[in-house]
Amino acid sequence: MLDSFRLGDIELRNMPVVWTETDQVSPAGPNDGLIGTWVFYHLLTTFDYAGRSLILRRPTPEAAAKVRADAARAGARPLPLYLGHEHELHSRGSVDGSGAQVVGLSIGGVGESAAVIPGGTAERLRIRTDRDRPVETFAHSHPTVAYPCYPKEIRLGGATAKGSYCMTNPNSRPSRSGFDVLATFFHPFYKPYNVTLDFTGMNLYIARGKAT
């Protein structure tokens, strides 16, 4: 238990933490640890990709009202926010005209693909896939071979990426979250936007540009 953990002007006390002894180097380089979703549960959190900042606020009614007002001015409607397997984030999005379905939200981390799409979904939606360039990688700590693919459009609310570099995994396993996940959106998708997670109202707001 950590007596005190400070993020800017916000202090969290008596917080459970985990240490892992490993000599594995993170793809992002040396770091002193990770901040998990469990921390963000207690805050009104904005991942301001466009502004390259992390904005943390106490989840007061006034702060939530400002988020809603800022989103409305930007033309962003609230999207549902779902939790699976205790900490995995989900909402509703679409791939190549699939219609709104449950999608995973991998916010943060490293990588260059905007989304990962199960192999069966890529085939069903006839997404262009480059099978001449297999990528040996890992999925949920299991080795697998994935392939670059290029959906015409992936969408989360009003946020879109057209013709973006994605990956498809023909060996995808059922999601442990309990959801039938259409695709998982990774952090390159969010780069033109700012994303706010409201765990009180269980809403997600995504708007183009820097957070106001």
pLDDT digits (tens, 9 = 90+) for 191-210: 999 999 999 999 999 999 99
Helix/strand/coil for 187: helix
The set of residues, in sequence order, having a beta carbon less than 8 Å from that of 154 and lying 6+ positions away, is 93, 94, 95, 96, 114, 115, 160, 161, 164, 166, 183, 185, 189
* pLDDT tens profile 76-122: 999 999 998 878 999 999 999 999 999 999 998 778 999 999 999 99
Angle CA 72–212–28, to nearest 5: 115
| Average pLDDT for 120-130 | 96
Locate 160 and state its tokens. 């879109």
Choices 1.10.10.10, 1.20.1300.10, 2.40.70.10, 1.10.3720.10: CATH for 2-208 = 2.40.70.10
Indicate the pLDDT class of residue 26, thresholds 50, 70 and 90.
Answer: low
Q: Where are the domains of the chain?
A: 2-208
Q: Between these two residues, 203 and 21, which has the higher pLDDT value?
A: 203
pLDDT of 174 > 80? The answer is: no
The set of residues, in sequence order, having a beta carbon less than 8 Å from that of 42 and lying 6+ positions away, is 12, 59, 199
Does the predicted model carry a pTM greater than 0.75? yes
For 1-33, the three-class secondary structure string (H helix, E strand, C coil) is CEEEEEECCEEEEEECCCCCCCCCCCCCCCCCC
Q: Between these two residues, 30 and 21, which has the higher pLDDT value?
A: 21
Give the separation between CA 167 and CA 86, rounded to whole angstroms. 25
pLDDT the model gives residue 54:
94
Indicate the pLDDT class of residue 145, thresholds 50, 70 and 90.
Answer: very high
One-letter identity of residue 58: R
